[in-house]
Structure formats: structure tokens, C-alpha cells
A and B are shown apart, each in its own frame.
Chain A
Amino acid sequence: MGPDTRTLVQQLLKGNRRAAARLMSLAETLSPEAHTAIKQIYPHTGKAHIIGVTGPPGSGKSTLVDKLIHEFRQQKKRVGVVAVDPSSPFTGGALLGDRIRMSRFATDKGVFIRSMGSRGSLGGLAWATHDVVRILDALGKEIVIVETVGAGQAEVDIIKLAETVVLLTVPRLGDDIQTIKAGIMEIGDIFVINKADLDGADRLYVEIQTALNLGEREQSWEPPILKTVASSGEGVEELARAIQDHHTHLVESGEIKQNLERRCAAQLETIVEQSFIRKLFVQAEEREHFHQLVQKVCTRRLDPYTAAELLILRLIQPRIESDSS
């Protein structure tokens, strides 16, 4: 038996790393107790600059994050890192190797690195990532970097979480355009061509530039396209500066407020949506009711809109509804 949640939160707020780590594990259970902890932590968050680093597997994200930590540490900033890698959908297991590239900061007390499996979430960004970031924020980290594999949904999820999104691509010989899928361009605040030491970086640069010009971006921020060689550190200083510039831009233009509102709204939406879904599928009685309605919809005794209304009504007024059904 360890200390209770309240004690852990108090320790966290005093900067205790062990308490932070234990709260992160608790957060990953997504249990009511985890939510109790986050409720206590939330008022102490909102100070960190959250940076998403996303891109395909093997594109050099972890190597780049290591170099970014170095840059921010030079500026005496405290840094938190959350590195998310996919969990196996079959066994739930995961091999999390991002720390390998950041070993030199393992004993730096100004740096806290946490590895996470994506667990149930398809696409890549475990919901608990939000809470783990909050814990790092409450621990006093001024910069929190979230590394995620850019695969479908995760790329879109990252904008619910990060203020600044860094999108990584790499030149791949023989690869035709389609380097960055449609719909993904919009979420990048900074584009990075890593492995710029390889052939094809210039062509990739032109492709991204063209794609950015084609897209209708209303924002006042023009996403820079930077070339880096993460393994040698080339271009990383410029990247750190671009990240800082983006943050300054958000503050000075006032967009930081809209950005925050957008993220809060997205998070709240997800929580409500998932709470409903959870109620539907976790409680046997509700599941049964759901399946009855599915049957009625299938046999055309009920239309799906009415069925959905009935479900929602029942979930928000469980006692009244359960007598009549």
C-alpha cells in the first residue's frame, strides 16, 4: 500500500518525482480514482508550453527530441517528455525504446521522461497522455514535449493537446509525392525535414512548400520548413528558435487564447463522448438496452435518430427511464 492520492498530489506539487511517476501510472488506469487525482492537479496546470513532435516511425523523432531537450536545458528551462509508442492491439504489450536516444538526460533532475504505450487508442495517442502532460506541468516543467507516431488519428489527436505541433518528414528515395497526407498539412505549425543528410531533402522541401501554398491557411502564422540532421544536431538550434517564435506569435497575436479554447473544447467533447460510450458499453444493463434498440433500428421499428435520443435521455435520466423500458 502506497500513500493515498491526496498525499501523492501534495508531494507532486512540491516537486517530488516519484509521486509524479506514480500519479502517471494511476492516470493510465483512467479510473475514478485517477480522475479524482486529476481534479486536484488541474488548478496547478496551464503553465507549460506543450510541444507535439510527430512523424512516421524511424523518422528520427526521439533523436530530435534529445537534441531539443539539450537546447532547452541550455536555456535553463525544465523539460518534460512524454514518448508514446504503439501498443500491440493483440496482446496489449509494448516495447518502448524512446529513452535509448535520451539516455544522457536520465539523471538530469531538470528533465523527466516518461514512456507510454498507446494502449486502447487506435491511431496512437492514449487518452491518458493528456493527464500525464498535466502531471508534468504541475511538476513544474516549463516545456513539455510529446512524441507520437504520426499514424492517422494520432496526428489529429495531437492538436487537442499541443500548442505547437512539429511535423517530421524524411526524404525517402524513390518515393513519389504523398509525403504528407492530405489533412495533415493543416495541423503542422512547423515542418521539419529530418535526415536532411540524405538525398531528396531539397525535393521534399519544394513538395511541402507547394502543398502549403495550395492549402488555404487563414492563420497569420506561416509555418516554416526547416531541415535538420537530428543525429548530428544540425539545424536543431533553428528549430528550437522556431518553436519559441511560434509561442511568441501565439502570445502576441492573442491566438494563444483561441488555441487554448479550441483544445479545452476538444478535450471536453472527448470526455463527454467517451463517458457516454463507456456507460453504454461497460454497464451490462445499458448494453442490453442498447442492443434492444439496435434490433429495433435494424427491423425498421425505430429510426436511428429516435433511438439515439432515447439512449441519451436514458443516460442523463437513468432512474426515470429505466422503469418505462
Chain B
Amino acid sequence: MVSEQERKIRVLVAKPGLDGHDRGAKVVARALRDAGFEVIYTGLRQTPEQVAEAALQEDVDAVGLSILSGAHMRLTEEIMKLLKERDMGDILVVLGGIIPEEDYEPLKKLGVKAVFGPGTPTSEIIDFIKSHVK
């Protein structure tokens, strides 16, 4: 149809880093789809550059990073920097995975808006994204 459509929320779900587990990321991706989002899933082992470029080309409203490797500080810092370079410093970035609590604050300082630990109900993630995208 050529008739007008409302703007859909587009979310990039990315798995930066070297760990090979994407079950959690896939569960979240499906839940977001079922909530009516357009979810762009990039697959495993993405470099920060790949994540930032995908976010740019797909013009997403939000990026969800799933990181289990323990390298979340370095990866997140790099991705935030690359997003800023691409004039996307203000898009919503959330993080999921196994992240020690003491890292929550430093991550938020980097610009991450929320960290979702294992077992977070997907409805919480959906509501958070819905209420925080611009």
C-alpha cells in the first residue's frame, strides 16, 4: 500500500565480542519482534565497527548489545565512541548479559541507558525501549 504508515521502532540486536552464545540475544530479538518492533539481528562475533555501521545503515532507534565475554567495558566504550563519530551519540543503547553490578555505573557514564541482567523479563526490556526511544 502506498498509504501513510506510522514510524516503526527499529532495534539493532548485536553480539559484539568473541563468545559464541546467542541464545539470550535471540530470545530478546524474538520478543521485540512480537512486540511489534523491527529487529535487525547481526549475528555473532561482531566488531564494534560492524555494530556501529549496522546501526547507521539501518537507522535504528535503539541498539541492544548482548555481551557475555566479560569484555563489556572495552566493547561498549568503543561502540559508544564509534556511534558518536557517526552522529548517532544520542540513540538509545542498552546492554544485556552477565555484567557485574559494580560495572553498571561506569557503563551508564559511557552512555548506556540500561543494563539487563540474566533473567530480566523481556516485557521489562520492551517497556524500557518503548518509553525511551526518541
Contact = CB atoms under 8 A, between A and B. Distances in A.
Interface in A16-33: 17-18, 21-22, 24-25, 28-32
A18 B30 CA distance: 27
A87 interface: yes
A32 B29 CA distance: 32
Contacts of A29: 4-7
A95 B57 contact: no
Give the bracket for the number of chain A residues in contact with chain B: 35 or more
A113 interface: yes
A73 interface: no
A96 interface: yes
Contacts of B122: none
Contacts, number: 118
Contact of B3 (A21, A107, A278): A278
A270 interface: yes
A30 B5 contact: yes
B88 A96 contact: no
Interface of A: 17-18, 21-22, 24-25, 28-32, 87-88, 91-97, 99-100, 103, 106-107, 112-115, 117, 119-121, 127, 270-271, 274-275, 277-278, 281-282
Interface of B: 1-8, 10, 29-30, 32-43, 46-47, 49-50, 53-54, 56-59, 86-88
11 contacts: A18-B86, A18-B87, A18-B88, A29-B4, A29-B6, A93-B33, A95-B39, A113-B54, A119-B5, A119-B8, A278-B4
